[in-house]
Amino acid sequence: MADLIALAERVEKLGGPCRETDVEIARAVRWLPERVNPIAWDGRNYELAPSYWFKDGFGLPRYTASIDAAMTLCEPHWWINMSAPLSPDAYGYSRESQRRPRAGMECIGDPYSSGGNGATLPLAVSSMALRARASMTRTTGDGDGNNG
């Protein structure tokens, strides 16, 4: 859980896409390439995952660059609220106390309520989803599932 929160905080500080952070997120959520059978990896030590999985040729999602990839970090049943100014002159915030000229996302509903922000929408979504997964881990013990 603490690792997911720390990763979410690093994502929020980014100014734009970062491929190294994409790899960190993929490892944190135990992402598997499409051509790998998830049943074969069920219960195995994820730290043994081959490093070549995390190269571009294996379809590593661009969580920090693509809103579509970032949304794969969200569970289908999550309710998501978005405030998205795409200009530094506007304010976007997911909570009143977080007024910053940044995109904001909020995941609504227990046990995964959380907010996140970032310089771009993909960063805000990634941060929010990582925080929501950390909340799920805290309450259910299951926040690192692979859904994409």
| Distance (Å) of CA 145 to CA 73, 78, 79, 86, 125 | 9, 14, 18, 31, 17
Residue 5: pLDDT over 60: yes
Write down the pTM of the prediction: 0.73
Give the C-alpha separation, 80 to 126, whole Å.
Answer: 12
pLDDT at residue 115 in the model: 76
Mean pLDDT of the chain: 75
Structure tokens at 57: 């040729």
pLDDT at residue 85 in the model: 52
- How crowded is residue 44: how many other Cβ atoms within 10 Å of its Cβ? 9
Residue 26: pLDDT over 80: yes
User: Residue 105 contacts by C-beta under 8 Å, 6 or more apart in sequence?
Assistant: 80, 81, 82, 83, 94, 115, 116, 117, 121, 124, 125, 127, 128
Place of tokens 């571009």: 56
pLDDT digits (tens, 9 = 90+) for 64-119: 999 999 999 988 877 777 765 544 444 444 455 555 545 566 666 555 667 777 88
pLDDT at residue 65 in the model: 95
Q: Is 108 helix (H, G, I), strand (E, B) or coil?
A: strand
pLDDT at residue 6 in the model: 94
